Amino acid sequence: SQTIHQWPATLVQPVGSPLSLECTVEGTSNPNLYWYRQAAGRGLQLLFYSVGIGQISSEVPQNLSASRPQDRQFILSSKKLLLSDSGFYLCAFSGTSGADEQFFGPGTRLTVL
């Protein structure tokens, strides 16, 4: 069966520190992968998506970057966190067609102090 994992579940980081959030998918090959953010009191926003290894599309200019070093691994990073990076980060995957249903990971709650 298909499963998606994210870690850590919660994270508290000081302003200016680096960030690395990891997402892995099991039970599927060549998935489309997505990073979303939900800021406090706001809706979900697509940050990055990837259709293959090394292929990353950025939706919103920001302090974050994404990488896909392996087919089923998606990493969200920052060199220096800002207060505004606080939020709930969700990874999701879908089949190779952009019109396939998306399935979401458990999320990482990031607080930047």
Partner 1 sequence: KNEVEQSPQNLTAQEGEFITINCSYSVGISALHWLQQHPGGGIVSLFMLSSGKKKHGRLIATINIQEKHSSLHITASHPRDSAVYICAPLDPQGGSEKLVFGKGTKLTVNP
Q: Which residues bind partner 1 (CB under 8 A)?
A: 34, 38, 42-46, 49, 57, 59, 88, 90, 98-99, 101-104, 106-107, 109
38 vs 62, beta carbon nearer partner 1? 38
Query: Does residue 71 contact residue 58 with C-beta atoms inside 8 Å?
Result: no
Reference 111, options 47, 39, 53, 33; nearest CA is 39
Amino acid residing at 6: Q
- Which residue, 80 or 93, has its beta carbon nearer to partner 1? 93
* Between 26 and 59, CB nearer to partner 1: 59
